[in-house]
Amino acid sequence: MRKVTTVAVIGAGTIGASWAAYFLGRGLKVRASDPAPGAEALIARMAAGIGADTAGLVFERDPVRAAAGADFVQESAPERYDVKLGLLPAISKVLGPDVPIASSSSGLLVSRLREGCLHPGRVLIGHPFNPPHLMPLVEVVSGEGADPAAVEAAMAFYRGVEKYPIHIRKEVPGHVANRLQAALWREAVHLVAEGVASVADVDAAISEGPGLRWALMGPSLTFHLAGGDGGMQHFLGHLLPAMQTWWDDLGTPNVDAALQAKLVAGVEEEAAGRDLAALAARRDRFLRELVALRKKTDS
Amino acid sequence: MRKVTTVAVIGAGTIGASWAAYFLGRGLKVRASDPAPGAEALIARMAAGIGADTAGLVFERDPVRAAAGADFVQESAPERYDVKLGLLPAISKVLGPDVPIASSSSGLLVSRLREGCLHPGRVLIGHPFNPPHLMPLVEVVSGEGADPAAVEAAMAFYRGVEKYPIHIRKEVPGHVANRLQAALWREAVHLVAEGVASVADVDAAISEGPGLRWALMGPSLTFHLAGGDGGMQHFLGHLLPAMQTWWDDLGTPNVDAALQAKLVAGVEEEAAGRDLAALAARRDRFLRELVALRKKTDS
């Protein structure tokens, strides 16, 4: 497998610049490209924010020149087929045949992103969770026609830079994490709509309860432990009937103007005058320390 | 409002003993009762586990004697109407009229638990998230006929001992947190059933992604921040169509024998030979440090 020393970051808006900063922080050489005037400065600012050295950064306005010589490509251009299909085929022609091209796309079909590319099977989705420099998750979508060696190389690359890639075998809307978020939020919105509890209290039902566990383990492993010595088998035998009762009662809210106003008023009440920038800074500080705590837990 | 110095813990199985240990750790006097021979020893063991002094513990086999003189009652008897209704009315008769009686029930109706009690409006549900000595969340269900002063007293009591009570205004199956867990897990099971990703990878889509944020903030405040400067209003304006697409595509799995076997095999693969007791000890160690980290984040 090709050793990755140089990553091309094609598209350096919020997502791409965060990727570039993260890769620099991992000691990789980064060749970045973006048509926007402030892109190089954005990367530098994000790199400074995580204490990453920008000595390994080369910025090229032309994406094809940026891609040449890279061992891995992370593409984060705007989320439109016309934009991405204006980049990927040209880039693919200047890369070695074994260089994976991963798109940060959250919603486009990888099978369409492959169209017109040289060695199309190495074009994948490598969808980060925002912001990429803080969140470990990367969703690797292979889809029909993927080259298994490229999938393996991409998974190995992300693991090697301490991201946590998961392999999504079938294309579905929202990949996996956004669907799970949508499922949780749908019921949260339903409970607010029905007047069962306030926005702040529904939020706290997560952050003071199961959310604390989910920062370490996903829902299935959590229930495996909830089953005591019998694990998931016991859990299913004893708690599936109650679970089914809850499933049958979950709601599907209609988010009309009145409910939107209720949600907006609810989060503003919850924020209690703290401004968004301060809350975001608090979240990011917390995330950094949380990732460190998890490392300590498993060391 | 009555100052709480003595709590009666009626029923000291896993949940009740954990409550008793927690209250002792907060410096309260605890009067505990349970018919099982090992109950007092279980409280002592749990108290030792969190470094709580048991000098303030009085154990009475008779629940009515245990309740007498208490300023707050936390009832955690088995989850059956006949058992709880065999205790609550008798207990209510030896308590001051302003002493809240909170039941740890996860699924019974508070309106039925009130039947036959003296001052029935002070009977509430105070449902902890397991284990109570580690998890901040307490769901306070008032329901029809609740005494607002009792609700306020229970909320104040839980806050005072550093639990995080939320007020559930309408009785619905599963209160709030279990419904939210059920909503998330339903989609997780659906994605496994459809072969989109493995159990371990679906779990990681939470624990390496949104689960990290949910340990600090619930889903609505998370999306408020995802909306940038425009907050929830911007989020709804721009991301509701995508959210609706995902909502429309979420699944409702049929957990038959084959899917149960797939879930059991999946979590066992994820556990990778680590035994359940070791995983539970790791989780509890992590939870303690996580709660400390959150305090630091807001200090």
Residue B142 and residue B247 share a domain: no
Tell me whether residue A145 is in a domain: yes
Phi-psi region of A85 (alpha: psi -120 to 50; beta: other; left: phi over 0): alpha
How high is the mean pLDDT of chain B?
96
Shared-domain flag, residues A195 and A283: yes
Half-sphere exposure (Cβ direction) of B85: Cα atoms closer than 13 Å: 12
> Collapsing DSSP states into helix, strand and coil, what is residue A33?
strand
Q: Which of A151, A224, A288 to probe the B interface (max B CBs under 10 A)?
A: A224
Q: Tell whether B52 and B123 lie within a shared domain.
A: yes
Q: What is the number of other CB atoms lying within 10 angstroms of the CB of residue A50?
A: 16
Residue in B213, B224, B293 closest to A271 by CB: B224
Instruction: Flag whether B102 is in a domain.
Output: yes
Together in a domain, B144 and B192: no
Identify whether residues B141 and B45 lie together within a single domain: yes
Listed by number, the residues of chain A in 153-182 with a beta carbon closer than 8 Å to a beta carbon of chain B are: 164, 166-170, 172-174, 176-182
Asked if the structure places residue B158 within a domain, the reply is yes
Q: How far, rounded to the nearest angstrom, does the alpha carbon of residue B264 sit from its chain's CA centroid?
A: 25
Tokens of B202: 């679906």
DSSP string for A228-288: GGGHHHHHHHHHHHHHHHHHHH-------HHHHHHHHHHHHHHHTT--HHHHHHHHHHHHH
Please indicate if any CB of chain B lies within 8 Å of the CB of A3: no
Structurally, chain B folds into a number of domains equal to 2
Is B251 exposed, middle or buried, given 0-12, 13-18 or 19+ CB atoms closer than 10 A? middle
Determine the structural domain holding residue A263 and report its residue range: 177-297
Mean pLDDT, range A87-103, rounded to an integer: 97
Domain boundary at A168, A199, A219, which? A168
Taking only the tens place, the pLDDT of each residue in A122-179 is 999 999 998 899 999 999 999 999 999 999 999 999 999 999 999 999 999 999 999 9
pTM above 0.90, yes or no: yes
| A76-82, long-range: CB < 8 A, 24+ apart | A76/A9, A76/A10, A76/A11, A76/A12, A76/A13, A76/A15, A76/A16, A76/A19, A76/A103, A76/A104, A77/A10, A77/A11, A77/A16, A78/A11, A78/A13, A79/A105, A79/A106, A79/A107, A79/A108, A81/A108, A81/A112, A81/A113
* Domain stops at, among B118, B138, B168: B168
CB B205 within 8 A of CB A218: yes
Instruction: List Cβ neighbours of A145 (8 Å cut-off, separation of 6 or more).
Output: A111, A114, A120, A121
Residue A73 falls inside a structural domain: yes
pLDDT of residue B240: 94
pLDDT digits (tens, 9 = 90+) for B122-170: 999 999 998 899 999 999 999 999 999 999 999 999 999 999 999 999 9
Q: From residue A246, how far is each of A194, A251, B54, B173, B247 by CA, in Å?
A: 15, 10, 39, 6, 18
Q: What b/e string do you get for B1-33 counting C-beta neighbours within 10 Å, with b at 16 or more?
A: eeebebbbbbbbbebbbbbbbbbbbeebbbbbb
**Residue B288 and residue B144 share a domain:** no
Do A240 and A194 fall within a single domain?
Answer: yes
ipTM for the predicted complex comes to 0.96
Residue of B nearest to A162 (CA): B208
Q: Is residue A1 part of a domain?
A: no
For residue A151, being part of any structural domain is answered with yes
- Residues A16 and A34 sit within 8 Å (Cβ to Cβ): yes
**CA B116 to CA B18: how far, in whole Å?**
28
Are A197 and B246 inside 8 Å of each other by CB?
Answer: no
Query: What is the dihedral sign for C-alpha A77, A82, A87, A89?
Result: positive
Q: What is the tens place of the pLDDT at every residue in B42-68?
A: 999 999 999 999 999 999 999 999 999
Give the count of beta carbons closer than 10 Å to the beta carbon of residue B198: 20
User: How far apart are alpha carbons A158 and A138 in whole angstroms?
Assistant: 8
What is the C-alpha to C-alpha distance for residues A251 and B171, in angstroms, rounded to an integer?
15
Query: What span, in angstroms and rounded, lies between the C-alpha atoms of A62 and A59?
Result: 9
The first and second tokens of residue A127, run together, are: 């969808």
Nearest Cα of chain B lies from the Cα of A69 at a distance, in angstroms, of 31
Reading the block at residue B144, the tokens are 């029809």
> In chain A, positions 38-97, which contact chain B (CB-CB < 8 Å)?
none
Contact A76, A9 (CB under 8 A): yes
In B177-261 the beta strands, taken as DSSP E runs, fall at: none
Among B168, B202, B233, the domain-final residue is B168
**Tens digits of per-residue pLDDT, A19-71?**
999 999 999 999 999 999 999 999 999 999 999 999 999 999 999 999 999 99
Looking at residue A232, which CATH number applies to its domain? 1.10.1040.10
Instruction: Look at residue A158 and tell me if it is in a domain.
Output: yes
- Closest partner residue to B231 among A224, A276, A297, by Cβ? A276
Query: Per-residue pLDDT tens for B199-251?
Result: 999 999 999 999 999 999 999 999 999 888 899 999 999 999 999 999 999 99
A147 and A84 assigned to the same domain: yes
First to last CA, chain B: 28
Residue B1: inside a domain, yes or no? no
Same domain, A44 and A152: yes
Residues 6+ apart with CB under 8 A from A205: A197, B137, B139, B166, B176, B177, B180, B218
Query: For testing the chain B interface, which of A140, A180, A259 should be mutated: the one with the most B CBs within 10 Å?
Result: A180
pLDDT at B35 (0 to 100): 96
Question: Which is nearest to A10 in space by CA: A24, A49, A19, A133?
Answer: A19
Contact B221 A203 (CB under 8 A): yes
Structure tokens that stand for A136 in this block: 């470990």
Do B215 and A219 count as a contact with CB atoms less than 8 A apart? no
A258 touches chain B (CB under 8 A): no
Q: Omega into A131 within 30° of 0, i.e. cis?
A: yes
Out of A213, A276, A285, closest to residue B229 by CB: A276
- Same domain, yes or no, for A194 and A85? no
Instruction: Say if CB B176 and CB A194 are below 8 A apart.
Output: no
The reply to whether B207 touches chain A by the CB within 8 Å rule is yes
In angstroms, rounded to a whole number, what is the distance separating the alpha carbons of residues A210 and B89? Answer: 33
Tell me the pLDDT tens digit for each residue of A178-197: 999 999 999 999 999 999 99
Q: What distance in Å separates residue A5's CA from the closest CA in chain B? A: 25
Three-state helix/strand/coil letters over B242-276: HHHHHHHHCCCCCCCHHHHHHHHHHHHHHHCCCCH
Q: How far is CA B34 from the centre of its chain?
A: 21
Confidence band (pLDDT; 50, 70, 90) for B106? very high
Both A209 and A148 in one domain: the answer is no
Q: Same domain, yes or no, for A236 and A126? A: no
Instruction: Indicate which CATH number applies to the domain containing A86.
Output: 3.40.50.720
Which of A15, A185, A234 has the most B C-beta neighbours within 10 Å, making it the best mutation to test the interface with B? A185
